[in-house]
Structure formats: C-alpha cells, structure tokens
Amino acid sequence: MSVELAILAPLLLLLIYGAVTLGSAAYARHALLEAASSTARLCALQPGVDCRSIATQCTLQLPGSGPCGELRSWCQPVLVEQADRPQLVPLESGLVIEAASVRLGCAFVGSVGGEFLAEHKIRITHFSASALVPYSRAIPVP
C-alpha cells in the first residue's frame, strides 16, 4: 500500500498543480482580453488622443484597480505590443469608419505551485490579446 502511494502521490500532486495553473492561465488570458477591450473602447471614445498613451496608462494601474490593475497580479509586466488607429474608410454618406486597435501582452507569473511545475519544465510564458473597436464620426462633405 505505501509503495503504491509513494508512486501515485507525486503524480496526483502534479495533476492538481497542473489543473490549478491551467485555470490561473485561463483566467489571466481572459483578464488580458478584457484589458485590451477596455483600452480599445477608451481609445475609441477619445479620438483626439494617442491610443498608445491610453494603453500605457492602463498598464501602469495599481494591482486591483481597473481592467489592467486586476491583470497585474497575474502578469508581470503587461506590455503594449500595438496600439493605433487603422486607416480611415470613408463612406458616401459623409461618415468615416475608424477603428481603435490595441494588442496587449504579458508574461504569466501567477500560479499555485509554479516552482514545482518549473522544476518539471512545465511553463506557460507569454500571452497576448487583441481588441478592435470600430467607430464612426461625421466629416464635413466638400
């Protein structure tokens, strides 16, 4: 009985740590996507402001505050990989369709038993998430 337990206990522990880490990684990925979407939404609401500066402000939030703040407890650092406004698409009606595009990335650090998994060469290292928020604005028709 003790021999079987000595063989199965480390495997069971590895499975439990793996499941918890996978759940943490899924949550961190969801939080990263939410932060990218919120940043793109803010960028769309402020057409005169540079998207990269809005995204950078999001990544500097304190842990627990705002969409990027919640993410910082799982990821260090949160990086702005891309933030811009893709090319304008003019319509015949005098509207212009623009888009706020944000791509955030992070190095995943939050997990229960992370050192144990690292010893066994199991590591989740990098996530990235993109968000694109289209919006329209009226322009003067010549």
**Closest residue by Cα to residue 78 from 99, 97, 54, 58:** 58
pTM of the model: 0.74
pLDDT, tens digit, 9 for 90 and up, residues 16-29: 877 887 888 888 88
Query: Can you tell me the mean pLDDT for 86-103?
Result: 76
Give yes or no for residue 7 having a pLDDT over 80: yes
pLDDT, tens digit, 9 for 90 and up, residues 34-64: 888 888 888 888 877 888 888 888 777 766 6
Give yes or no for residue 133 having a pLDDT over 60: yes
Is the distance from CB of 108 to CB of 61 less than 8 angstroms? no
**Closest residue by Cα to residue 110 from 11, 32, 4, 3:** 32
Give yes or no for residue 84 having a pLDDT over 80: yes
What's the rounded Cα separation, in Å, for the pair 119 and 100?
Answer: 41
Give the contacts of 84 (CB within 8 A, at least 6 positions apart): 51, 52, 101
What's the rounded Cα separation, in Å, for the pair 100 and 43?
Answer: 6
What's the rounded Cα separation, in Å, for the pair 54 and 40?
Answer: 9
Element (H, E) at 2: helix 2-45
Give yes or no for residue 12 having a pLDDT over 80: yes
**How far, in whole angstroms, is CA 107 from its chain's centroid?**
10
What is the structure's pLDDT at 137? 67
Provide the residue type at 75 as one letter: C
Query: Can you tell me the mean pLDDT for 103-132?
Result: 75
